[in-house]
Chains A and B, each alone.
Chain A
Amino acid sequence: MVGGLFIIITSQNYLKKVVGLAIFQTAVFVFFVSLAKVLDGTAPILTKMANAYSNPLPHVLILTAIVVGVATSALGLALVLQIYKNYETIEEKEIESLELKSDK
């Protein structure tokens, strides 16, 4: 989780930022799934063998969150593509210097 956040903050490349965001989000998903584990619990399927089940609800929540995450990454990548078409670079510093020139 911290790794993903670190990538977002430090990297100058927009593509890397999107990837960092994806890592950050995935880490949170794993945290949620780990919440669901019940000691000695099995998968939540009704059988006579098991007497404890893992909680299925966090899995369902994360299924939703994964969809949201995919949409976010897709939109981010699409924006990076458009930025590349307009500026011909996706490095933050180069774009900043381009903008400074155009402002003058």
Chain B
Amino acid sequence: MFDIFLDDAPALVVVLPLLISAIIAFMPSKIWLWIISIITLLLHLFLSLHLLKEISVSGLIIYEFGNWEPPWGISFKIDGVNIGLQLLFSIFVLVSTFYSRKIFLNEIDYRDSGKAYSLWLLAVGSLNGIILTNDIFNLFVFLEISALASISLIALGAGQNRKALLAAFNYLIIGAIGATFYVIGVGFAYAMTGTLNMNDLVIQLAQYSDGQLAIFAGMSFMLIGLMVKAAIFPVHIWLPPAYSYAPSAVSTLLAALATKTILYFFVRLLYEVFIIYPSYLSLFLDFVLYPLSLLAIFIGTVIAIYQDDIKKLLAFSSIAQIGYITLAFSLKDHSGVASGFVHIFNHALIKGGLFMAVGYFAILYKDRVTLNSLKGFGYKYPITSFALLICGLSLIGLPLTNGFISKLYLFQALYTNQMYFSIALVAVSSALAVVYFWKIVEQMWFSEIKFKSEKEDAYIYLPIWIVTISIIVFGIYSTPIIEFSNLSADYLISGYQN
């Protein structure tokens, strides 16, 4: 009986959360909202696992909506590039929804919880759409749905601090400009080729092999639009306020997954479509993405050191971490792209764990968490604090954590490309990360005030520890992440070497 559904699994992983989102918006009961969301996401995980099984057999699934063949219809594509991300997405969304219940109860008005979970599932469905879609205009639609859903979620933080409204508004304006730039680019590409399907686009673009100005203009517009959305330095300014004033559960979801999915599409566009203009691609990578990544790493880390507000500190460190990922992607070879994907996986776990722990502190402290307010928390709330410590060490890149694996592969990739300056800069920035993280540790464990330990809520620290343990497990046994990343890089880079 389930076979009918399983055939449509690629569509269902996106459609299911979107459908349920529309239904639960009107549900009166809080607990049922949460239970339905969890059931939906369990089904989502089941479908993702089914897709993994299919992929391991066939290697490629193309799902055509309404059986319209490309270039007319919209299609989803699942292959080695995105199956790993799909699984990570599914699992992490489930964990963070589990975490979100108590957080939403504390941080937003109970009458808004129906809307909150509705928007939550809307964001989940549309972000999943970004991972799977094979159509450049369809991507724009998913981009905007996810942006509008996350803007509304950020604005729900206004009950805590009215600055959330300003953060949401700035995100709306800047994000919409980015998305519109992307559409202009799509328009140019469509005018020249008459197709929106990514595979077809590659074939059609090949006839302009000598290079047309209109295509280069379109490509540049698309890339700049996506850079705004992925918060690549210097168009990141919407991100720190948006992450720091959003409700904590929302910051967790956005920081761990939202920019990652867009970065994934960004690299897929670069290495799958724009690859047919190697000179343009290497121009973009060497003279735009590479220097911007280095700046992002350095400036993001330095600004993070001077932050007093912990959530802002984490947001600026996200800018630096996105810099690491784009630096890896700008290397144009297998090791670079693979290490970029490794860091996408690892950083999603690390930042998710950190935001979860800090979000819990915000509820316990009943105010914004600043450095001063953390005094003695290491003794007061030992379970969560210890998780925060492990996530933080992983962010710095200490051995036995998955952050170390990321750094190791990044250094290897940089070394094979003989980029010694970047190696030095990444090392310096890792050392600087110790500075801002040490400030937190110092307040938590080495301040004058000593507290007795207090009871912590298992519903909240359980998901935090699931993430923390996975950080340690993947730090010691990193094979799954490495294999998925290598698979992604295999698919993407094979086009580049031909």
Contacts and interface: CB of A to CB of B under 8 A. Distances in A.
Interface in B147-198: 148, 151-152, 155, 158, 162-163, 165-166, 168-169, 172-173, 176-177, 180, 183-184, 187, 190-191, 196
B169 A80 contact: yes
Interface stretch (B137-145, B230-238, B386-394, B396-404): B137-145
Contact of A8 (B144, B177, B196): B177
Given A21-B177, A68-B144, A72-B148, A82 B137 contact: no
A76 B190 contact: no
Interface residues of B, number: 27
A28 interface: yes
A21 B166 CA distance: 16
A25 B175 CA distance: 12
A24 interface: yes
A95 B163 CA distance: 10
A31 B184 contact: yes
A83 B166 CA distance: 7
Interface in B119-148: 137, 140-141, 144-145, 148
Contacts of B183: 28, 32, 65
Contacts, number: 69
A73 B165 CA distance: 15
A3 B94 CA distance: 44
Given A35-B187, A68-B141, A71-B148, A79 B180 contact: no
Contact of A87 (B141, B162, B191): B162
Given A8-B177, A82-B155, A82-B158, A35 B191 contact: yes
Nearest to B137: A61
A17 B173 contact: yes
A86 B180 contact: no
A23 to B, nearest CB: 11
Given A35-B190, A65-B183, A99-B163, A72 B158 contact: no
A43 interface: no
Contacts of A5: 177
A63 B148 CA distance: 18
B412 to A, nearest CB: 42
A95 B177 contact: no
Given A75-B172, A79-B169, A31 B144 contact: no
A18 B151 CA distance: 15
B195 to A, nearest CB: 10
Contacts of A14: 169
Nearest to A20: B173
Interface of B: 137, 140-141, 144-145, 148, 151-152, 155, 158, 162-163, 165-166, 168-169, 172-173, 176-177, 180, 183-184, 187, 190-191, 196
Q: Which 7 A-B pairs have the closest CB atoms?
A: A86-B162, A68-B144, A79-B169, A35-B191, A83-B165, A72-B176, A32-B187
7 contacts: A8-B177, A31-B184, A32-B183, A58-B190, A68-B140, A72-B172, A83-B165
Interface of A: 5, 8, 14, 17-18, 21, 24-25, 28, 31-32, 35, 58, 61, 64-65, 68, 71-72, 75-76, 79-80, 82-83, 86-87, 95, 99
